[in-house]
Structure 1
Amino acid sequence: MNYFVIGFYALLIGSSCLAAYYQKRSLFLLLFTLTLVCFLMGIIGGQPALWFVTVLAGIIALAAGTSYAWREFLVLTLPRDMSRALKTAPLTASFGLFVIFIYAVMGIFAPVIAPHGEAEVISSAFAPADANMLLGADQLGRDVFSRIVYGARNTVGLALAATILAFFIGAIAGLFAAVRKGWLDQIMGRGADVIMSVPSLIFALLMLSIFGTSMLVIVVIVAIIYSPRVYRLTRAVAGNVVVMDYIEAASLRGEGTGYLIRKEILPNSTAPLIAEFGLEFCFVFLLIAGLSFLGLGIQPPTADWGSMVRENATLISFGDVTPLIPAGAIALLTVAVNFVVDWMLFRASGLKE
């Protein structure tokens, strides 16, 4: 047993004792449970397992510190109403906002950040990383780092466009169905049921094989797939608002459907719809990445994270983690958006009170 192992356990036990002394019950349970888990991991995996725990704890601490600094920066720079809301946001939500900001910067300034073009061949196939290529080359000799940066623009941008279109179609249909009801509500509801009854991946593969794989076709098909989900939620939320007294008063004043939707129903349905937008983006983003992995999404030579995983999958057999980088980028954005959505749902539910 070397000094690292002794110091590792001494730090955990000492921290647990301090937490118990100052009556921090939750922190004590966390630290002492971690101590027991690390003790078992040390017996099974030895010193490498303890180094893994140390590195993981360092990454978590770095993420927590970055999230706290980002939250304080937003509180100081944003308008008063937004800063008041962000001041009580959990660190997970601020971490999600930070990741979304980084991805947005990558997508917007991709030509400035990427050292090479997304389709530019600059080396031999699967060349290792060097000063010119931070992450090495892919199967055609293109810079992997540059293609990941451009992939933030292509993959995320396409998913965002499809989500906006799906939300526009589903929200408008749901609001009109809630106000008008009758045969219009029945027709829209049955149409949504039909589309939702078909698995999304099978429906997308069938439509793309018929109409082609251009970006416009992908956006329209994905929007059609996910708009019924938005319709169902919007119909349910707006249905609860329509029965309120102020809606009946506005109708008795002679206000039309457009006024009711724009001035009365939509402002009182914003919070759950915004949270649903984040969830829909995650579903759309993962579907487009999956289609690209299967070869029916964004087509070469356009950089896309899903296709990058497929193109470099053979490197996993040689112990190279390059294919895991675009997969990790997909997972990180999905987790970040879910963190923000969870916080928004918590605020919208009124549990903060």
Structure 2
Amino acid sequence: MATFVFGYYAALIIASVILAYVDYKKWFLMVFSLLLVSFVAGIVGGAGALEVITIFVAVLATAAAVSYAFKFFLVLIAKPNLAKELKTAPLTAAFGMFVIFTYAVAGIFAPLIAPHGQAEVISGAFAPPDANMLLGADQLGRDIFSRIIYGARNTVGLALIATLGAFFLGALAGLLAAVKGGWFDQFMGRVADVIMSIPSLIFALLMLSILGTSTWVIVVVVAVIYSPRVFRLTRAVAGNIVVMDYIEAAKLRGEGDWYLIRREILPNSTAPLIAEFGLEFCFVFLLIAGLSFLGLGLQPPTADWGSMVRENATLISFGDITPLIPAAAIALLTVSVNFVVDWMLFRSSGLKEQ
């Protein structure tokens, strides 16, 4: 243990000196700050605290390396214009894209990746991990790892469909309200105000209690809840476009509303709408996971991350972190999507890095 502590501090000190000598200021600040934090943590927590910091830094460095490699891969396979944009993407955005890609692969190829079926009972209740079950078994003896893989298909897929529904309803209503104006614009605005005035979770619980918890009912209810947010943004963006001179010229040529929407407004409002889609997906995803945790989302035996947290919560009392794995999967996807959305918003804002 003494050798580990001595080597740990020696490595950080040597790295700090080298970085200071070659005048890499940003890296020097990072490494030397880590040295100071490690010094304080070592005094307070001993060698155990240094091991935790080492593991954290190793995970962070691995994530940065994978993100950089994935970014380089995307630059190589992308078209020239897209490749130029990807080169300027920060590592956080590259990490987000890598996580989204991983979730997509897990969801699409879940039957091939998962070693067991999502409802297949293969062991006793809460059996510990072994060679056959990487994460052990749940309360019914089903493989938790397989259910997490299938959860990427079920939970994320349901959230994606609901987000598409919310975006279709909200964007269509917002575009029509901006183009038509008048009483239609006022009417849609008041409908959006009424829906947004009701808390999302309470509205969802009420509707699902009345209409049932089938998959399509969940999709429709969640789409209706979040469509006013999309309506507000679309109406604001399109409202700034319809007053432009080229829109007036198109109207004088006799172009109809659908032509204006398809050929004039949508091409000039794509960037903020795409960014909004990412944000809406995060909100929808968290709401569906919350509904599943409360028992009103996807119903058993369908694997769902929210319900998996509830079903295995008993293990936390025994010091087992297994219930936190599906919760971590939810958090990781949410953070990753926000990383990508932040980058897209930065690009669409026209700001330049200093």
Do they superpose with TM above 0.5? yes
3-state SS in 2 of match to 1:260? helix
String of CA shifts for 1:295-322, please: whole Å, max 9, x gaps.
Answer: 0111101000000000000001111111
**Greater CA deviation, 4-13 or 256-265?**
4-13
Instruction: Report the counterpart of residue 245 of structure 1 in structure 2.
Output: 245
Instruction: Report the counterpart of residue 282 of structure 1 in structure 2.
Output: 282
Instruction: Report the counterpart of residue 235 of structure 1 in structure 2.
Output: 235
Instruction: Report the counterpart of residue 66 of structure 2 in structure 1.
Output: 66
Q: How far has the Cα of 1:196 moved from its partner?
A: 0.7
Q: How far has the Cα of 1:88 moved from its partner?
A: 1.6
Q: Summarize the alignment of residues 233-312 of structure 1 with structure 2, pairs less than 5 Å apart.
A: 233-312=233-312
Instruction: Report the counterpart of residue 32 of structure 2 in structure 1.
Output: 32
- 1:337 is aligned to 2:337: yes
Q: Summarize the alignment of residues 213-228 of structure 1 with structure 2, pairs less than 5 Å apart.
A: 213-228=213-228
**How many pairs does the alignment contain?**
353
Q: Structure 2 length normalisation: TM-score?
A: 0.98
Instruction: Report the counterpart of residue 12 of structure 1 in structure 2.
Output: 12
3-state SS in 1 of match to 2:129? coil
String of CA shifts for 1:26-71, please: whole Å, max 9, x gaps.
Answer: 2222222222211111111111110011011100111111111111
Give the partner amino acid of 1:188. M
Give the partner amino acid of 2:187. I
Q: Distance in 1 between matches of 2:169 and 2:218?
A: 16
Instruction: Report the counterpart of residue 107 of structure 1 in structure 2.
Output: 107
Instruction: Report the counterpart of residue 169 of structure 1 in structure 2.
Output: 169
Instruction: Report the counterpart of residue 3 of structure 1 in structure 2.
Output: 3
Q: Distance in 1 between matches of 2:26 and 2:83?
A: 29
Q: Distance in 2 between matches of 1:267 and 1:101?
A: 26
**Greater CA deviation, 268-277 or 184-193?**
184-193
3-state SS in 2 of match to 1:185? helix
Instruction: Report the counterpart of residue 42 of structure 1 in structure 2.
Output: 42
Q: Distance in 2 between matches of 1:178 and 1:11?
A: 61
Q: Distance in 2 between matches of 1:300 and 1:248?
A: 55
Q: Distance in 2 between matches of 1:193 and 1:71?
A: 41
Instruction: Report the counterpart of residue 77 of structure 1 in structure 2.
Output: 77
Q: How far has the Cα of 1:20 moved from its partner?
A: 2.2
String of CA shifts for 1:92-124, please: whole Å, max 9, x gaps.
Answer: 111111111111111111111111111111110
Give the partner amino acid of 1:156. V
Q: How far has the Cα of 1:257 moved from its partner?
A: 0.5
String of CA shifts for 1:174-193, please: whole Å, max 9, x gaps.
Answer: 01111111111111111111
Q: Distance in 2 between matches of 1:20 and 1:109?
A: 48
Instruction: Report the counterpart of residue 183 of structure 2 in structure 1.
Output: 183
Q: Distance in 2 between matches of 1:174 and 1:160?
A: 20
3-state SS in 2 of match to 1:301? coil
Q: How far has the Cα of 1:14 moved from its partner?
A: 2.2
Instruction: Report the counterpart of residue 96 of structure 2 in structure 1.
Output: 96
Q: Distance in 1 between matches of 2:195 and 2:16?
A: 54
Q: Distance in 2 between matches of 1:38 and 1:193?
A: 52
Q: How far has the Cα of 1:138 moved from its partner?
A: 0.3
Q: Distance in 1 between matches of 2:188 and 2:23?
A: 58
3-state SS in 2 of match to 1:73? helix
Q: Distance in 1 between matches of 2:287 and 2:48?
A: 37
Q: How far has the Cα of 1:72 moved from its partner?
A: 1.0
CA RMSD between the two structures:
1.1
Q: Distance in 2 between matches of 1:186 and 1:21?
A: 65
3-state SS in 1 of match to 2:239? helix
Q: Distance in 2 between matches of 1:174 and 1:196?
A: 15
Instruction: Report the counterpart of residue 116 of structure 1 in structure 2.
Output: 116
Q: How far has the Cα of 1:11 moved from its partner?
A: 1.8
Q: Distance in 1 between matches of 2:249 and 2:32?
A: 60
- 1:317 is aligned to 2:317: yes
Give the partner amino acid of 1:41. A
Long gaps (5+) in structure 2: none
Q: How far has the Cα of 1:162 moved from its partner?
A: 0.2
Q: Distance in 2 between matches of 1:73 and 1:322?
A: 33
Give the partner amino acid of 2:85. A
- 1:154 is aligned to 2:184: no
